[in-house]
Chain A
Amino acid sequence: MLLSKKLNLLLLTMSIFLAGCWDRIDIEERGFVIGTALDLADQKSNEDYEVIMTNQFVIPAGLGSITEGSGGQEAFMNISETGTSLFRTNRKFSQLNSQVPFYQHLKVLLISDEVMKQPNLFSDMMDFYIRDHAMRRSIRLVVAEGEARDILNLKPKNVNVPSMYLDDLMENVDRNTSTIKPVHVGEVQELILNEQSYVLPIVKKAGDQAEYGNVVVINGESNQMVGSLDEEETAGLGFVNGHTEGGVLEIQVDDDLIAIEITEIKQNMNIKNRQKDQLRVGISIDIKGNIAEHFGGRSVLKEQYVNKIEKSAEKKVKELVGNTIEEVQGELNTDVLGIGKTLYKFHYDFWQKIKNDWEKGENYFSSAVIDVNANVEIDRVGSNDRIKMSEGG
């Protein structure tokens, strides 16, 4: 102890106050990045890409308050920068913008399908968003059809900032069968590490609006987009692996159109045998729903009729799922159904033997036989029985 106690205490106190206030940047000096778009600029060589990073900054004054309004000022500002590493590109923003980019309020990350189509580029770029301390794992990731930065320029009439609009759009996932739950950056890390194929949601331009729905299929090994699923195929996929929370099932029963509002979907997958080249997989899907709309004059209070509706709905579900299975087994040859995951969980030894020949080589996935069993249950029929009497009554 060279120093006396008092001196020590003084030095300790001084160290706090003299070094104090580091990292202090007041809120108005922060440039809040609320959305980011990544586009492909140029492929320099085989594994060397240049990427355009477009950051959407919020202009708080433009958001306006309840009493004052924004006064015609724009609420956002998009700035683009090109570079190879995202971190350096991100630093370049400080040369253009007076405010320091601040990523803790980043809501959506848009990645153009061009970027997704390059092998390994997507996973490499995700590293910045996972590694950086300012990044939240709750950033929602979505693939943009076409140029991603164009979507950040959309001006819907009701929301001032496009990224907030996109963020809110992704909340509405339980309304349609073709929208899947938004994927967070945190989950993406899991997906990439698992090396199993997965799907990401798509957003595309639709006039002044953006449209959220459908998915792209990504190969788990190269993290590269291999194709996309259309509305019906996305719905089928949703029934199988639980990406969908709800939605509407439209069916025809004796020429009458019936819309069933899905309230609950449960699925179960079991492996029936362990033959490498002819694996049998059983998928059972339990759906509960209400009759939301009914054309025609038949009474929905009759049990027989309801049973008939249920049967038709089951048929429809099987058809949708069948289409999806056909597409992913045939053309895309990518296991996004989660069979590999089930094997990994419940038949680990078997999976170790076949995993190298699952989606490539021997293509055991394509040769698997998948039995789909659907069970639809109508819980409620709505507030009325029928709107008109018909001869069938």
Chain B
Amino acid sequence: MGRNIFRRRKMRQESTEGESFSAELGTDLDKNLQDLQVMIGSPGDLVIRRVTLGVNVNAAVAFISGLSNKEAIHNDLIKNMQRNREKEAGSDTPDELLKQMQLDLISIGSVENTNSLDKLTIDLLSGKSVVYVDGAAEVLLLGTEKWETRSIDEPISESLIRGPREGFVENLQTNMMLIRRHIRDPNLRFDTNEVGRRSKKKLVVCYMEGIANPDIIKEVNHRLSSIDMDGAMESGYIEQWIEDSYLSPFPQMDNTERPDKVASSVLQGKVGILLDGSPFALIAPITIANAFKSPEDYYDRWLIGTFLRFIRYIGAFITMFLPALYIALVSYHQGMIPSQLAFSIAATREGVPFPAFVEAIIMGITMELLREAGARLPRTIGQTIGIVGGLVIGEAAVSAGIVSPIMVIVVALTAVASFTIPLYSVAISFRLLRFGFMIAAAVLGLYGIVLVYIMINIHIVNLKSMGVPYSTPFAPTFIKDWKDLVLRGPIPMMNERPRNLQPKDKRSGNLRR
């Protein structure tokens, strides 16, 4: 089904091609400026500065005030234009004048020529300034982009105890710089695309030439080229457009604010996708094992890293199974609980008006409400909500006899366990699947849990991320990759790149053990 829709998207895209118009510039300055104003609707932040060059040649500089470096325009452009009238007078034709200005007068790094009104407008709107000369068929586009940006901060969603403190910002150039600082290799590629019919945002595909499998790069580029939408506000738009299955509860791409994570993934042979205006980079392809990996695993010694991973796997299983197990055991398989525990559960459930399933659903939803409320509110109030919700509501619900104390333990443990999973999007889908397990447990007991677990496993082995099976290296099995799976092997031993990505260059080091 998913494939059909994919095909339909492509067809629609083909039918709309050829609609973009390209208006040519004229030679008349006033007409050209008027065209520009008509084109973009003469907004308040459009600045047009008229200058006289050489022997009475009219010229103009246009730029968007918020997006351009005004200092550079004043000092390196307009000042130079006004002070060198003798030199300017040497040129005979306006085109020659333009050429001379480009070579002699303008001391700004990036200068381009164009005669397309279309390109001019887009470049103007992305911060370049335009130099018009009356009578010339072309204009100069100067790279004067500069706007207010957030400074590089510690990534809020992925803070580590040990590791670099810098995170991506909204500026694409800065983000590329952050990655380059980790990898100074000529083979590091940043392929630039444009995305969005209206937003025309820059999107960069980042990979290592000679390491990443060309098929993966081809697949990524193919899918990116199919994107057809008005605007991509966040890299999430891109992720959802190019993912393999939109019906799956599991994310098929990693998103991160950490340049070090992108850099290490790129070195393994993965592909990073950066979108201008979004501090979240995408990494593809990923496998289910990525949900349990955190950059910190590698920064601490291997024993610690391995232990942390074990904890996360346990956490994932608790998140998904604990409430369901509670329901199954309490409603169906009382014989499987150790006697003393069975009696104490029976004692605490005495007087609870709801069956275990309803009890679990009530508490599960309460927990999700609290989490969502805490995420929506400002951080200071959010913490208060957590305390009020967790302690007061839990305690009150127990003493009011609505839920049993054991249920509170189950829910609290589930919540805590779900927060151990480093990939936020996976943690949420695990918590979602938990409700499926709970329903199955309520209907069929342990048998139901087993059935749903089998269904999820079947789904996982069917799922692919950029054509790479989601369940590797478990199945298809790559034993050599297992040293960086549940176990995090010592760094000197990890001298091979993950085989499941089929990198062109298999070894990352020559030390053999």
| In the bound complex, CA of A377 to CA of B502 (Å) | 67
| In the bound complex, CA of A376 to CA of B339 (Å) | 41
Whether A28 lies near B352 (C-beta < 8 A) is yes
Whether A134 lies near B343 (C-beta < 8 A) is no
Interface stretch (choices A3-11, A15-23, A169-177): A15-23
Closest to A30 in B: B334
Whether A32 lies near B356 (C-beta < 8 A) is no
Whether B335 lies near A27 (C-beta < 8 A) is no
Whether A27 lies near B345 (C-beta < 8 A) is yes
Whether A26 lies near B330 (C-beta < 8 A) is yes
Contact of A28 among B332, B337, B349, B445 (CB under 8 A): B349
The A85-143 residues at the B interface (CB cut-off 8 A) are 102, 104-105, 107, 134, 136
Whether A65 lies near B347 (C-beta < 8 A) is yes
- In the assembled complex, the CB of B327 is this many whole angstroms from the nearest CB of chain A, namely 10
Whether A107 lies near B339 (C-beta < 8 A) is yes
Interface string of B186-214 (1 = CB under 8 A from A): 00000000000000000000000000000
Contacts of B442 in A (CB 8 A): 20-21, 24
Residues of B contacting A: mostly: helix
Whether B347 lies near A60 (C-beta < 8 A) is yes
* B444 contacts partner chain A, Cβ-Cβ < 8 Å: yes
Whether B335 lies near A28 (C-beta < 8 A) is no
Whether A26 lies near B344 (C-beta < 8 A) is no
The A28-65 residues at the B interface (CB cut-off 8 A) are 28, 30, 32, 34, 58, 60-61, 63-65
* A389 contacts partner chain B, Cβ-Cβ < 8 Å: no
Whether B349 lies near A61 (C-beta < 8 A) is no
- In the assembled complex, the CB of A323 is this many whole angstroms from the nearest CB of chain B, namely 40
| In the bound complex, CA of A214 to CA of B442 (Å) | 48
* B66 contacts partner chain A, Cβ-Cβ < 8 Å: no
- In the assembled complex, the CB of A9 is this many whole angstroms from the nearest CB of chain B, namely 13
* A25 contacts partner chain B, Cβ-Cβ < 8 Å: yes
Contacts of B352 in A (CB 8 A): 28
* Given A20-B443, A134-B335, A26-B356 contact (CB < 8 Å): yes
The B332-381 residues at the A interface (CB cut-off 8 A) are 332, 334-335, 337, 339, 342-350, 352, 355-356
Contact of B331 among A27, A60, A63, A164 (CB under 8 A): A27
Q: Which interface class (under 10, 10 to 19, 20 to 34, 35 or more) fits B?
A: 20 to 34
Contact of B346 among A60, A134, A164 (CB under 8 A): A60
Whether B443 lies near A27 (C-beta < 8 A) is no
Whether B335 lies near A104 (C-beta < 8 A) is yes
- In the assembled complex, the CB of A59 is this many whole angstroms from the nearest CB of chain B, namely 9
Contact of A61 among B334, B345, B350, B445 (CB under 8 A): B350
* Given A21-B442, A60-B343, A26-B331 contact (CB < 8 Å): yes
Contacts of A63 in B (CB 8 A): 343-344, 347
- In the assembled complex, the CB of B428 is this many whole angstroms from the nearest CB of chain A, namely 25
- In the assembled complex, the CB of A58 is this many whole angstroms from the nearest CB of chain B, namely 5
- In the assembled complex, the CB of B450 is this many whole angstroms from the nearest CB of chain A, namely 14
Whether B443 lies near A60 (C-beta < 8 A) is no
The B159-210 residues at the A interface (CB cut-off 8 A) are none
Whether B350 lies near A24 (C-beta < 8 A) is no
Whether B349 lies near A16 (C-beta < 8 A) is no
Closest to A160 in B: B343
Whether A105 lies near B339 (C-beta < 8 A) is yes
Whether B339 lies near A60 (C-beta < 8 A) is no
| In the bound complex, CA of A60 to CA of B340 (Å) | 9
Whether A27 lies near B334 (C-beta < 8 A) is yes
| In the bound complex, CA of A28 to CA of B346 (Å) | 5
| In the bound complex, CA of A107 to CA of B346 (Å) | 18
| In the bound complex, CA of A58 to CA of B332 (Å) | 18
Interface string of B437-462 (1 = CB under 8 A from A): 00000111100000000000000000
- In the assembled complex, the CB of A160 is this many whole angstroms from the nearest CB of chain B, namely 10
- In the assembled complex, the CB of B330 is this many whole angstroms from the nearest CB of chain A, namely 5
Contacts of A27 in B (CB 8 A): 330-331, 334, 337, 342, 345-346, 349, 356
- In the assembled complex, the CB of A62 is this many whole angstroms from the nearest CB of chain B, namely 8
| In the bound complex, CA of A164 to CA of B338 (Å) | 13
Interface string of B401-426 (1 = CB under 8 A from A): 00000000000000000000000000
| In the bound complex, CA of A16 to CA of B442 (Å) | 11
Closest to B339 in A: A105
| In the bound complex, CA of A102 to CA of B333 (Å) | 11
* Given A32-B346, A60-B346, A25-B331 contact (CB < 8 Å): yes
Contacts of B355 in A (CB 8 A): 24, 26
Whether B335 lies near A58 (C-beta < 8 A) is no
| In the bound complex, CA of A136 to CA of B339 (Å) | 13
Whether B443 lies near A17 (C-beta < 8 A) is yes
| In the bound complex, CA of A24 to CA of B332 (Å) | 5
- In the assembled complex, the CB of A352 is this many whole angstroms from the nearest CB of chain B, namely 42
- In the assembled complex, the CB of B403 is this many whole angstroms from the nearest CB of chain A, namely 13
| In the bound complex, CA of A107 to CA of B338 (Å) | 12
Closest to B405 in A: A65
Interface string of A59-80 (1 = CB under 8 A from B): 0110111000000000000000
Of B342, B343, B349, B445, most A-chain CB atoms within 10 Å:
B343
| In the bound complex, CA of A183 to CA of B335 (Å) | 21
Contact of A23 among B332, B343, B346, B350 (CB under 8 A): B332
Whether B342 lies near A105 (C-beta < 8 A) is yes
Contacts of A164 in B (CB 8 A): 339
Contacts of B344 in A (CB 8 A): 60, 63, 65
Whether B334 lies near A102 (C-beta < 8 A) is yes
Contacts of B346 in A (CB 8 A): 27-28, 30, 32, 58, 60
| In the bound complex, CA of A136 to CA of B338 (Å) | 13
Contacts of A32 in B (CB 8 A): 334, 339, 342-343, 346
- In the assembled complex, the CB of B54 is this many whole angstroms from the nearest CB of chain A, namely 79
- In the assembled complex, the CB of B458 is this many whole angstroms from the nearest CB of chain A, namely 15
Contacts of A34 in B (CB 8 A): 339
Contacts of B339 in A (CB 8 A): 32, 34, 105, 107, 164
The interface of chain A, by Cβ under 8 A from chain B, is 16-17, 20-21, 23-28, 30, 32, 34, 58, 60-61, 63-65, 102, 104-105, 107, 134, 136, 164
Given A21-B442, A60-B347, A63-B344, 14 more A-B residue pairs with CB atoms under 8 Å apart are: A20-B443, A23-B332, A24-B331, A25-B331, A27-B331, A27-B356, A30-B334, A30-B346, A32-B334, A34-B339, A60-B343, A61-B347, A104-B334, A107-B339
6 nearest A-B residue pairs (beta carbon)? A104-B335, A60-B347, A20-B443, A60-B346, A28-B349, A60-B343
16 inter-chain pairs at a CB distance below 8 angstroms, sorted by A residue, are A16-B443, A20-B442, A23-B332, A23-B445, A24-B445, A25-B331, A26-B331, A30-B346, A34-B339, A58-B343, A60-B344, A60-B346, A61-B347, A63-B343, A65-B348, A102-B334
